[in-house]
Amino acid sequence: MINKKWKGIRFSLLVASAFLLVNKLSGQNMYTLQQCIDTALRNSLQLKSDNYDLDKTKASIGEAYSSLLPSVSASGSYQYQFKVPVQVVPADLFGGTAGTYQVAQFSVPQTKSASVDLSQTIFNASSLIALKAAKVAINLNQLQIQSSKEDLVYNVSATYYNIQTILKQIELTSKNLQNTEELLQSTNDQYIAGLATETDVDRLSVSRDNSKANLESSRNSLEKEYNLLKLLMNVPLENNVAVLDYELSGEVMPLESPAFDIMKKTDYLQVLENRRIADLERKNIKAGYLPSLTLSANYGLSGYYSNADPFKNLNNKWYSSSYVKLALNVPIFDGFNKKYKIQNKVIEIKKYDVQAEQLKQQSLKNVANANADLKSNFLTLQSKRRSLDLAQKVLDDLKLQYQNGIAMMTDVINSQSELHTAQNNYINALINIKQAELDLKKAQGTLLK
């Protein structure tokens, strides 16, 4: 049972709550949607990972270039033979008896050598095509970065709008709770004066408790959405972040069909780049039928000695050697291996053509649907706004009638329930407009514009 002290207690609680709320908000950083997006783009770990992939691809261009540049290497060796090998030779070579053999050593115990080798690819079609493919892969990585940015902008925006919606719900629920408490206090006073029943007081108490439960649920949802926003922004969860209130002013219902350019769609461009890579791979396989030509050269020095002095050669002399070589490799038959690889790539290219057409048709449909949803949501919002105003008017009238003994408490509680429903419908209409605008930008490929 509510006593007469309730009014003073409730007033004190409201003052304390307002004081705590002001202090809490004063310590929070207010973020606009654009500030949240900028922070997320700046701190995103996914974007950092995508940029590392881009750096790796750029490094692969250097690898492709390296196959076209000359290769130079140097080598040196030292060899000591504990036992010099011997060979058996006909004795008559050295003036001996024919038909007999002698043992002879044709090397010295120690040898040393040094040489420089050079090779240069003169013609290799596969290397040239690999270089082109590496450049296309960079475009594909850049498109992946753009796709990650678009996903991040979409998710941050959707979360931001959800927070604004919950804040609006909390605002309206708090107002409903305050009105219910005031009505409960008035009804309790009437009950004490014998002008209202205990059932009326109990019904309002149940309505008040339900409003408190709804308010607590909304606050819990708000905390979760803020945590998600902080995660997307990659800021510590203990940071104080707050979003601006939802504002509808200045929004006008779209009348014309939205502009659409398929070349602004990142997923469509990714398919085109994948097709280019597949076509280059086909050309690379086909280039395997062409001959390759390589130039190589060598220059070396050798020294021989039998004593322990590595700096004194036999006869005090270095013996040099050198050559220049052109190597031509002409593929003749590989068992039709390249033929079937080319066929597979042709099929892959055709699949990319089909995917591109499917994406184009799907994108056109998505743009049309998103625009239709946006128009519908604007009309729905106007209707829900009228319903909300009417529900509020009905409740105010019934409260006055109840205080004058004309209406029953059941009518007031039912009207409160209808007002809550109208408020929720209005809030949903608000967020649906923002969500439809977001979906339209996504369908158009203009999230980053």
The predicted-structure confidence for 272-307, as pLDDT tens digits, reads as follows 999 999 999 999 999 999 999 999 999 999 888 776
Q: Which stretch of 77-91, 161-175, 246-260 has the lowest confidence by average pLDDT?
A: 246-260
At residue 98, φ and ψ (nearest 5 deg) are -65, 145
State the angle between helix axes of 198-233 and 125-192 in degrees (0 to 180), rounded to the nearest 10. Answer: 160
Other C-beta atoms closer than 10 Å to the C-beta of 64 total 17
CB under 8 Å to 147, separation ≥6 — which residues?
Answer: 266, 267, 270
Which tokens belong to 179?
């009105």
Predicted TM-score (pTM) of this structure: 0.81
Helix (H, G, I), strand (E, B) or coil at 310: coil
Q: Where are the domains of the chain?
A: 6-67+124-290+333-444, 84-122+293-330
Indicate the pLDDT class of residue 144, thresholds 50, 70 and 90.
very high
How do residues 30-66 score in pLDDT, each as one tens digit?
A: 899 999 999 999 999 999 999 999 999 999 888 888 8
> Alpha-carbon distance 194 to 123, whole Å?
107
Cα angle for residues 284, 290, 293 (degrees, 5° grid): 110
How do residues 401-449 score in pLDDT, each as one tens digit?
A: 887 878 888 888 889 889 989 988 998 888 898 899 999 999 999 998 7
State the average pLDDT over residues 178-196. Answer: 86
The pLDDT of residue 43 is 96
> Alpha-carbon distance 393 to 271, whole Å?
56
> Alpha-carbon distance 449 to 442, whole Å?
11
Q: Are 122 and 107 in contact (CB under 8 A)?
A: no
Q: Where are the beta strands (DSSP E) in 16-154?
A: 29-31, 71-80, 87-90, 101-104, 110-123
Cα angle for residues 213, 217, 221 (degrees, 5° grid): 170
> Alpha-carbon distance 170 to 186, whole Å?
24
Q: Where are the beta strands (DSSP E) in 10-109?
A: 29-31, 71-80, 87-90, 101-104
The pLDDT of residue 250 is 45
At residue 322, φ and ψ (nearest 5 deg) are -160, 155
Residue whose entry in the numeric block shows the structure tokens 């066929």:
343
Strand 110-123, strand 292-305: pairing: antiparallel
The pLDDT of residue 63 is 86
DSSP character for 260?
-
> Alpha-carbon distance 419 to 425, whole Å?
10
CATH number of 6-67+124-290+333-444: 1.20.1600.10
Kindly tell me the burial class for residue 8, based on how many C-beta atoms sit within 10 Å of its own C-beta (0-12, 13-18, 19 or more): exposed
What residue type is 67 in one-letter code? S
Indicate the pLDDT class of residue 233, thresholds 50, 70 and 90.
very high
CB under 8 Å to 5, separation ≥6 — which residues?
Answer: none
Indicate the pLDDT class of residue 337, thresholds 50, 70 and 90.
very high
pLDDT exceeds cutoff 90 at 248: no
pLDDT exceeds cutoff 90 at 219: yes
> Alpha-carbon distance 97 to 88, whole Å?
14
CA 411 to chain centre: 53
The pLDDT of residue 348 is 97
Which tokens belong to 340?
């079937």
Q: How far, CA to CA in Å, does 369 sit from each of 40, 162, 265, 375, 436?
A: 29, 22, 16, 10, 9
Return the closest-CA partner of residue 396 out of 419, 379, 430: 419
Q: Average pLDDT of the chain?
A: 86
Indicate the pLDDT class of residue 251, thresholds 50, 70 and 90.
low
Indicate the pLDDT class of residue 332, thresholds 50, 70 and 90.
very high
Q: Are 248 and 165 in contact (CB under 8 A)?
A: no
> Alpha-carbon distance 224 to 226, whole Å?
5
pLDDT exceeds cutoff 90 at 310: no
b/e string for 143-176 if b means 16 or more Cβ within 10 A?
Answer: bbbbebbbebbbebbbbbbbbbbbbbbbebbbeb
